[in-house]
Amino acid sequence: MFNKKLCSLFIGVALLFSASSGTIYSMEEVNKCKNSSDDCKISLTKPVESGGITTVEVYCRDNSCFTVDGYGSTAEIPDATTNSNKTLIVDICNYERVANNRTSDSAYFSHCSPECHADSDCFTNKCLNNKCVENNAISLEKCQEAYHYHILTISHSYDFTCGKPHGYTCKSHSECASGKCTGGECERFNAIIITWMNLLPISSMVL
């Protein structure tokens, strides 16, 4: 049932734009960026009216992807079944922390995700105790920008990195889209990767 609904949700997505979420992309377009192809059409930064730039994140579910600007908590996704936009929560809480519902995690619960009332409210398609949580039963991926600072050449570069979304359980930095796994959980904010001779990472920190 979920797969049928998911297909319907994304039938018209490739041709539509969302005002608050930016552009809808196919998985093929995202894969070009993963491979550092000159054909990559996705920018992970964009100018804002007030000046400066804002970060753009890419969320992928099955074969469809969409962008969210400025670390937003929700995205407006075209829903072909209703011919209107559906608000989807992209913030994700760690499943074990929500399931255990410890009082000591109350501060974490206050900001890890807006309140959900049904699985369909969440990008992960899993709502537990009114929080969107990780869901390993479906294929999800997040892409964002990783900043590299190269000590020897005093230069910097950017990579289009993809991996587990924030809130997902992890064992290593490389599993996470942000490049940062802390306390067994992927962080949202990008890691600054400091390298020697543009090759070997020697440390990282979060922006």
Summarised one tens digit per residue, pLDDT across range 76-129 is 877 767 777 788 899 999 999 999 988 788 888 888 889 999 999 999 999 999
Q: Is the pLDDT of residue 70 over 60?
A: yes
Question: Looking at residue 169, what is its pLDDT?
Answer: 94
pLDDT (average), residues 32-54:
71
Q: What is the tens place of the pLDDT at every residue in 9-36?
A: 332 332 222 334 557 888 888 888 877 6
Name the nearest CA neighbour of 20 among 70, 65, 80: 70
Q: Which two tokens stand for residue 44?
A: 């992970």
Name the nearest CA neighbour of 61 among 5, 117, 118: 5
Classified as helix, coil or strand, 148 is strand
- Measured at the CA of 135, the angle between CA 134 and CA 139, to 5 degrees, comes to 120
pLDDT interval class at 180 (50, 70, 90)? confident
In this prediction the pTM is 0.73
Question: Looking at residue 15, what is its pLDDT?
Answer: 26
